[in-house]
Structure formats: C-alpha cells, structure tokens
C-alpha cells in the first residue's frame, strides 16, 4: 500500500526508515519531511496542519495509510477530518481522534482522566484568571518546589518548576493574566512536586487491546550533568536500566491497562501511540504526562529495536486486530545522541553545511532539522541529527555514537558528551 507520514523531525525519519523496510509498503511519502526522509521516501512540501493539501495528496497518490508524527495535527483533529470526509474515510489514520488527543492538548483533561480512572499521578488543582486568588491560596498550602503547568500546548515550554513561593505567585499571574503562553496558559494546573527519576513508556493501541514497546529515557537539558535550559531532547537510551521486571509490571497493572480501559469507558476512540511520561517515586511509578504520539528522540532508540514489521502492526491497529500481533524486540541496547545548532534552544543560525554524513558506518544518522540544498545537506533547525547505535551494553552503543560523531561536522555544532552518564 501507499503510506504518508506527517512530520519533519528525527522521529519521522525513523518512522520512514522503518516503514520503507516493510514489504507491505509500496510507495512512501513524507510531508514535509527532511533530507533524511528523502533518502527513503518522496517528500511533499505540505504543512502537517494543512488538511486541505493533505487531502489532495492522499487522493492524488492513492494513499491508504497516514501515520501522524507530531501532536499538533492530532489536537487539531486530523483524524476526525479524515473520518468526516467521504473521499478519505477509508484511509487508515495512525493517531487518535481529537477528543482523545486532549490527553496531550489539555493538562487538566489529562489530570481529570487519571483521577477518574485511579491512575497514580501528582495531586493538583487548576485555576483561571477568575480564580487566581484561590491559586495563590493553594500555593500557600504546598511545599516547594512549586509546579505550574499551562493547560494547553506550549511547544514543550509550558511547565515551570519554582523554588520560591513569591516567584511562583508571580509566574501564576504572568501565565493567567499576562498570557505568558498565550491562550495555552488561560488555565493553569498547579501540582504536587514529585521527586524521582523519569522514564517513558510507549504503548500501541487499537482502542481495544494494547502492546507495550521498550522503555526509553531522554536527556532533556541542554547542558552536561542535566543542567541548563530544557530542550526537545538531547539524547536517549533504551531500555531503561532501572526499569526492572517488577517495576514494569507495576506500570502495566496500575497505568497502562487502566489507561486503555479508561479510554474505552470514556468513549474515546484511540488508534495510535500513547507516550506515558513517568516518574519513579520510591518503588512506584506515577504519571507526569500523556503524549498522544511517539517521543523525539525516544523514537530513534525505540523503533530500531523493534523487529516486527511496523506496517503490519499499523494495519492490525487500523483493523482492530492488534491482539494477533507478536511484538519482537532486539535485546541489544540502543542509544542516540542529538547534534544541535550552537545557541539552541535559544536563537541559532541555519543553513550550515553538514559534512561527513555519508562516512558513517556503525551508527544510523536520523536527520531532524536538516534539508537538502543544492545537493548538500544543510541545517534547518535547532535539533539537527540524532546518531543512533546499538551495543551489547549501553556503554558500547554510546561509544559507537560518539565515534560516528567524530566524523561529522558543521559550523557551531554542539552535543552533550555525557549521554548515559547516570546509568
């Protein structure tokens, strides 16, 4: 069949790389894609939220399956758009409908969902500009640090963690009254701070059954030793060494199963990935957040470990037969290290030529903010390329990625030299 992937990051290059290996895929398209996806697919210059142009392409290229990479089109209802259009309604869309995408689109919706289904998470209350005084009072009842979350999508920047009560009150005012994150902070969730180590769990569901993919951990901060500003992710490892079998069983029993059951009870149709951000508090998992898509750069370590044909899995998800699929995982460790433009996550320059990509042998370079220009690969974003390697141990895989990176260069290239330091 012909397949379209929506998105343009390292995650989407990894999807395209994996899908292109499937005998079930005839022609593969990526919109808008990057220099990496153009190696394995045809890029279409279409924005992921231009539903009209996506429709035209789906008809023109006889596309039968659409795999949605990022959250924006899902939260804006791309799956519903397909279902409500006679020409598109038989196309299989991998990604939840708008109502369920609210698990990522609204923090308050996600918290209410977890409360309703007894899924362990931090206790919380939410506030608007009308109830800001109640918000101040609530902050006074909490111990620092204070966790403030913009309710809506804020490009990963909407969570603030503050040590000081006065600062927390000031930020609450900026979010609610001064629209610090635009409309996304018209409502703010204030929650209990959870102290522990983070990991992520990835679930596939057809709305009825589920399969759990390998765990992964990303490194969010720009600086070594997990310091400095938050980024989209500077590297990732899979599996997560501290996720023992006993702990994974707790995640499945207390979180994954109640989540899929909860979606059913609430009549929220869901065909897609559920990315559950977790924190290990003592010996127990608690949910920090839901995302309705795969993580980036977690995809760059999770999908390479998947041995099963990804298109066969997606087909089964679309048909409601996921329970018949056997998920096979490569037992080796996978790690990825993200090369970024100097200055990221603040201002940075683009258009720098990336040298050495074709000399990489022991790793897989997944392109992110990289584009072809005059037959050269040039930088086009903050996160430029994720260098993934396998190893019998995490250390071996990490070493391979760093050796590959030694062959790569572009002006002001930066990467963390300590990915995996804590393992």
Question: Between 291 and 404, whose beta carbon lies closer to ligand GLY?
Answer: 291
Q: Let me know: does 32 contact 47? Beta carbons within 8 Å.
A: yes
Applying CB under 6 A, does 73 fall inside the site for ligand GLY?
no
Binding residues with ligand AMP: total (CB under 6 A): 11
My answer on whether omega of the bond before 263 falls inside 30° of 0, hence cis, is no
What minimum distance in Å lies between the beta carbon of 11 and ligand GLY? Answer: 7
383 CB neighbour count, 10 Å cutoff: 23
Q: What does the block give as tokens for 17? A: 């790389």
Q: What are the DSSP E strand ranges found in 319-395?
A: 333-341, 364-367, 370-373, 376-379, 383-391
Cα R_g (the chain), whole angstroms: 21
Q: Does 315 bind ligand GLY (CB under 6 A)?
A: no
Spatial CA neighbour of 361 closest among 330, 394, 396, 387: 387
Residues 6+ apart with CB under 8 A from 353: 376, 377, 378, 410, 411
159/306 with CB nearer ligand AMP = 159
Q: What is the distance between the alpha carbons of residues 283 and 263, in angstroms, rounded to a whole number?
A: 26
Does 298 bind ligand GLY (CB under 6 A)? Our answer is yes
Torsion angles phi and psi, residue 320, rounded to 5: 75, 30
State the binding string over 192-231 for ligand AMP (x if CB under 6 A, else -). -xx---x---------------------------------
Shortest gap between Cβ of 365 and ligand GLY (angstroms)? 18
Among positions 287-306, residues that touch ligand AMP (CB under 6 A) are 288-289
Instruction: Choose the contact partner of 233 out of ligand AMP, ligand GLY, none; CB within 5 to 8 A by kind.
Output: ligand GLY
Comparing C-alpha atoms, which of 76, 109, 123 is closest to residue 95? Answer: 76
Among 135, 272, 295, 420, binds ligand GLY (CB under 6 A): 295
> Whole-number minimum distance, CB 255 to ligand AMP, in Å?
15
For ligand GLY, the binding residues in 209-268 under the rule CB under 6 A are 218, 232-233
- Of these partners, ligand AMP, ligand GLY, none, which one is at the site of residue 413 (CB under 5 to 8 Å by kind)? none
Q: How many residues in total does the chain contain? A: 423
User: Which residue ranges make up the site for ligand AMP (CB under 6 A)?
Assistant: 122, 147, 159, 161, 191, 193-194, 198, 277, 288-289
User: Which residue ranges make up the site for ligand GLY (CB under 6 A)?
Assistant: 218, 232-233, 291, 295-296, 298
């Amino acid at each position: 069949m012909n397949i379209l992937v929506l998105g343009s990051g390292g995650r989407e290059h990894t999807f395209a790389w994996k899908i292109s290996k499937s005998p079930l895929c005839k022609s593969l398209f990526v919109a808008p894609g990057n220099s990496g996806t153009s190696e394995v697919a045809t890029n279409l210059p279409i924005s992921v939220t231009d539903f009209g142009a996506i429709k035209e392409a789906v008809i023109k290229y006889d596309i039968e399956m659409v795999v949605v990479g990022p959250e924006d089109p899902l939260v804006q209802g791309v799956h519903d758009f397909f279902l409500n259009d006679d020409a598109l309604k038989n196309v299989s869309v991998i990604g939840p409908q708008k109502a369920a995408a609210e698990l990522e689109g609204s923090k308050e919706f996600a918290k209410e969902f977890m409360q309703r289904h007894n899924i362990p998470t931090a206790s919380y209350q939410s506030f608007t500009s009308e109830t800001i005084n109640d918000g101040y009072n609530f902050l006074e009842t909490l111990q620092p640090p204070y966790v403030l979350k913009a309710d809506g999508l804020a490009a990963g920047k909407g969570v603030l963690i503050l040590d000081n009560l006065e600062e927390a009150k000031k930020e609450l005012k900026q979010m609610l009254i001064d629209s610090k994150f635009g409309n996304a902070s018209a409502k703010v969730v204030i929650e209990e701070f959870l102290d522990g180590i983070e990991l992520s769990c990835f679930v596939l569901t057809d709305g009825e059954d589920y399969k759990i993919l390998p765990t992964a951990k990303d490194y969010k901060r720009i600086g070594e030793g997990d310091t400095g500003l938050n980024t989209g992710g500077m590297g990732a490892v899979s599996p997560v060494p501290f996720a023992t079998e006993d702990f994974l069983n707790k995640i499945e029993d207390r979180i994954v199963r109640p989540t899929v059951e909860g979606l059913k009870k609430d009549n929220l149709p869901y065909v897609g990935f559920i990315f559950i951000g977790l924190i290990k508090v003592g010996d127990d998992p608690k949910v920090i957040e839901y995302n309705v898509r795969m993580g980036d750069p977690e995809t760059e370590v999770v999908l390479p470990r998947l041995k099963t044909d990804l298109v066969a899995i997606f087909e089964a998800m679309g048909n409601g037969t996921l329970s018949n699929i056997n998920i096979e995982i490569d037992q080796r460790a996978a790690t990825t290290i993200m090369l970024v433009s100097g200055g990221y996550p603040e201002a940075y320059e683009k258009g720098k030529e990336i040298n050495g990509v074709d000399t990489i042998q022991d790793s897989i370079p997944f392109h992110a903010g990289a584009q072809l220009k005059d037959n050269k690969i040039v930088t086009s974003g903050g996160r430029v390329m994720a260098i993934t390697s396998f190893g019998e141990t995490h250390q071996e895989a990490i070493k391979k990625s760093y050796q590959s990176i030694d062959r790569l260069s572009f002006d002001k290239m930066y990467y963390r030299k300590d990915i995996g330091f804590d393992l």
